[in-house]
Amino acid sequence: MPYHRLLTEQTAALVGALPIEVVVMNSLTVNLHLMMASFYRPTRERHKILIERGAFPSDQYAVKSQIRFHGFSPDSLIELAAREGESSVRDEDLEALIEREGSAIALILLGGVNYATGQLFDVELITKAGHNKGCLVGCDLAHAAGNVPLHLHDWGTDFAVWCSYKYLNGGPGCVAACFVHERHSEDWALPRFAGWWGHDEKSRFEMGPKFHPMPGAEGWQLSNPPILALAPLRASMEIFAEAGMERLRAKSVSLTGYLEFLLQEQAARNFSIITPRDPEKRGAQLSIRLSRQGRELCDRLTAQGVIGDWREPDTYRVAAVPLYNSYQDVYEFASGFSAALR
């Protein structure tokens, strides 16, 4: 019955949370809706949601549908874009926008690492700027969890959601997770979409008609946990605990720096790297913009066993993952990429 708790301590450590602040459950978009049911409470004066332009489509659909669900118009969505000719959003533009429009923003929801560009956002800075203007702040950490160190409790972020498909090795459809800051853990007045597994476990099996939530993130659970799906994630989390996020990050910075160096050395320069150059502003991923025939190049590399990821219209994403990629892998990738380009 409490199988999901076997993952709690390591999950909390991974994102810099207290155990009461995390729960492993559902899939990411489901968790995002559950969080918005509680933390997107628009009023006539304060009804906007701020996201980054180019947020993952599921997040865009989810926030737009929440806005419509509450009877507001598409104008309630603010999408912050990078400046003309730039690929990443500047911190100062984010801060200025929050300062300017903050009193009308109900919720700020940003990716920890943007899935397309690989930009790592300063979640602490955004949380502080948002809170100063009375906004709630949530995060989609799908591309950040297991990729970069996170300190959600200290940063004060209201909620976060992430999946385990990518750096956490779960594979498609594996169970996602959710963070709710301790300050909300016993706020019984918060509206929420309830299910029996969110009910206080001490009286859950009395099967009473009235819902009494568990304190903390577990109070947002709907259903009893999928044990077979949790088992491989548990194995992965044990590996993360053993390797340590700080050590993984140190290797990641070096590995991705090496990848960037080798790519910059290429003679054929018919591509550009759109991921920020500053290691503090990115995780393991580099997004390569190809000027022509990018899809064919991607297919050619895949046929050679080099699996990157193609995103229309022109972006090829690769990530040198510190847990299992070596410097030799990176070198071989760069050589294969160079040959495919030629």
Ligand X SMILES: Cc1ncc(COP(=O)(O)O)c(C=O)c1O
Q: Is 14 in the site for ligand X (CB under 6 A)?
A: no
SS3 category, 248? helix
Q: Which range, of 2-10, 51-59, 83-91, 232-240, touches ligand X by CB under 6 A?
A: 51-59
* Shortest Å, Cβ 25 to ligand X: 11
Comparison of 47 and 166: residue with beta carbon closer to ligand X = 166
Question: 184: which 2 tokens?
Answer: 């909300």
Q: How far is the CA of 264 from the CAs of 281, 288, 295, 310, in angstroms?
A: 18, 11, 21, 20
Comparison of 95 and 140: residue with beta carbon closer to ligand X = 140
* Shortest Å, Cβ 107 to ligand X: 16
Q: Is 28 in the site for ligand X (CB under 6 A)?
A: yes
Q: Which range, of 7-15, 56-64, 203-211, 327-335, touches ligand X by CB under 6 A?
A: 56-64
Q: Is 170 in the site for ligand X (CB under 6 A)?
A: no
* Shortest Å, Cβ 223 to ligand X: 15
Comparison of 2 and 57: residue with beta carbon closer to ligand X = 57
Q: Is 20 in the site for ligand X (CB under 6 A)?
A: no
Comparison of 67 and 263: residue with beta carbon closer to ligand X = 67
* Shortest Å, Cβ 16 to ligand X: 19
Q: Please list the residues that pair with 271 across neighbouring strands.
A: 290
The DSSP letter of residue 155 is H
Q: Is 142 in the site for ligand X (CB under 6 A)?
A: yes
For helices 8-15 and 227-243, give the axis angle rounded to 10 degrees.
50
* Shortest Å, Cβ 103 to ligand X: 28
The DSSP letter of residue 120 is B
Q: How far apart (Å, rounded) are the C-alpha atoms in residues 12 and 299?
A: 38
Q: Is 27 in the site for ligand X (CB under 6 A)?
A: yes
Q: How far apart (Å, rounded) are the C-alpha atoms in residues 266 and 183?
A: 51
Q: Is 163 in the site for ligand X (CB under 6 A)?
A: yes
Q: Is 60 in the site for ligand X (CB under 6 A)?
A: no
Residue 209's CB: how many other CB atoms inside 10 A? Answer: 4
Q: By CB under 6 A, what part of segment 62-91 binds ligand X?
A: none
Comparison of 181 and 317: residue with beta carbon closer to ligand X = 317
The amino acid occupying position 270 is N
3-state helix, strand, coil in the chain (%, to 5): 45, 15, 40
Q: Which range, of 27-35, 249-257, 276-284, 307-315, touches ligand X by CB under 6 A?
A: 27-35
SS3 category, 222? coil
Chain-centroid distance of CA 318 in Å reads 17
Q: Is 115 in the site for ligand X (CB under 6 A)?
A: yes
Q: Is 176 in the site for ligand X (CB under 6 A)?
A: yes
Nearest to 322 by CA among 215, 262, 244: 244
Q: Which range, of 15-23, 25-33, 233-241, 296-304, touches ligand X by CB under 6 A?
A: 25-33
CB 10, CB 169: distance < 8 Å? no
Comparison of 56 and 333: residue with beta carbon closer to ligand X = 56
Comparison of 52 and 263: residue with beta carbon closer to ligand X = 52
Pairing of strands 177-180, 22-24: antiparallel
The DSSP letter of residue 42 is -
Place of tokens 């989609």: 140
Comparison of 118 and 213: residue with beta carbon closer to ligand X = 118
Task: Determine which residue in the list 15, 24, 47, 56 makes contact with ligand X, applying CB under 6 A.
Answer: 56
Q: How far apart (Å, rounded) are the C-alpha atoms in residues 86 and 219?
A: 42
Residue ranges in contact with ligand X by CB under 6 A: 27-29, 56, 58-59, 111, 115, 140, 142-143, 163, 165, 176
